[in-house]
Structure 1
């Protein structure tokens, strides 16, 4: 990328877990190697906020939401932050998920946790009151089911039902001897920690930083700065 290309702003939820913060910083650092300097902002828990980062620059900016489903934070928080910043030229891309790239990483994480074909799988998501986000989670579950060739049940760890622990228990009752949780979370934090209390035989690590996820972020950025590749769902804010 050259100096005339738009800046890249990676926006995540935010966590008080230092390892979660470090993971987002690592992701941004690796994206910088392929897509140019990448700044980070958070919509909750800690700062800087997207509005604060955007106010610090008048350079055209591509904002990539580092979310696995498009719910309240993507549809409400991000547009509000852009508006409050007063920035004159911001393109907001699609969120990271759902995406086949993430489904493949989920399979790798499950194998690393000890999952074997035939074991039951629960996709654990944070949850949302936004029906669009729940639809995205169902799409992610279908992608994972296609790769694992098994039925993937969905459980929520923060908002919504059924809860992860209830799904694990239901699978035990119906006769599944080994149950594994696929963590549909980007980084370690409070939500991922709760999964170890749900009674599964194994809990896969969060998605974290992989070459394929770094490339996914870069792909969202490149699509936004190349009109021929720009998806119809991208949001452009100009004043």
Structure 2
């Protein structure tokens, strides 16, 4: 028996019908493959395919599955493990969700500056929303991380599911900081709000690639021996 030193990575995202979303995930996968020097595959837990189980069919040997999510809600804690269990594979180690993390907060600050925000202008922190209290706790942590970098206390708001709704709390002079990895319906809704500016999603930023690499290395320690 030996441990697989550098197993392939399966990057698992939520999924969206907006083609711009999968393009971001594919760019992250390509950059992570170059950075880590391991094969990186892509799967999705909802909306589009391949599912995590389908993606695993094309990967031989032990695998690190990494949820490309910004909070550890239902999809991370339940959907992904269930899909992997359904595959019948016992050689898959599941890593931690990407967020919350200081790297992501710094990228969000960069996106705000690019949207025209300057220190002193009010920020509305906008996340996708969840009915999972653990995911909402992650979002609150993410808002605190960004708030420390921007010099103001940030209370999360949500595009859907949770309260308060971003549309109800933002004003004409606000800048919206989307806690979203990729473009899609949620970012489109934020972009339609009457505010001073809406930052771009976090996207395939080099800091996110570094974060993926860090999460991969931590999860790699739990990969079953081959």
Q: Which TM-score band (shorter chain)?
A: over 0.9
CA contact (8 A) 1:93 1:221 kept: yes
Q: Equivalences for 1:87-236 in 2 at 5 Å? A: 87-168=89-170, 172=171, 178-226=173-221
Q: Alpha-carbon deviation of 1:4?
A: 5.3
2-structure distance, mates of 1:195, 1:205? 10
TM-score by length of 1: 0.89
SS in structure 1 at match of 2:155: strand
List runs of 5+ in structure 1 lacking aligned partners.
Answer: 228-235
TM-score by length of 2: 0.93
CA contact (8 A) 2:69 2:97 kept: yes
1:25 alignment counterpart? 26
| Selected match of 2:61 from 49, 59, 62 | 59
2-structure distance, mates of 1:55, 1:84? 11
2-structure distance, mates of 1:100, 1:64? 18
**After the TM superposition, which segments of 4 or more aligned residues of structure 1 sit over 2 Å from their partners?**
55-58
SS in structure 2 at match of 1:9: strand
SS in structure 2 at match of 1:142: helix
CA contact (8 A) 1:121 1:151 kept: no
1:46 alignment counterpart? 48
2-structure distance, mates of 1:142, 1:58? 41
CA contact (8 A) 1:58 1:88 kept: no
1:5 alignment counterpart? 6
- 1:43-64 deviations in Å (ceiling 9; x for gaps): 1111000011113334101011
Q: How many residues align?
A: 221
1:230 alignment counterpart? none
CA contact (8 A) 1:153 1:167 kept: no
2-structure distance, mates of 1:66, 1:4? 22
Q: Alpha-carbon deviation of 1:20?
A: 1.1
The structure-2 alpha-carbon separation of the partners of 1:152 and 1:4, relative to structure 1 and needing over 3 Å to count, comes to: closer
CA contact (8 A) 2:100 2:141 kept: yes
2-structure distance, mates of 1:127, 1:38? 28
The structure-2 alpha-carbon separation of the partners of 1:57 and 1:108, relative to structure 1 and needing over 3 Å to count, comes to: same
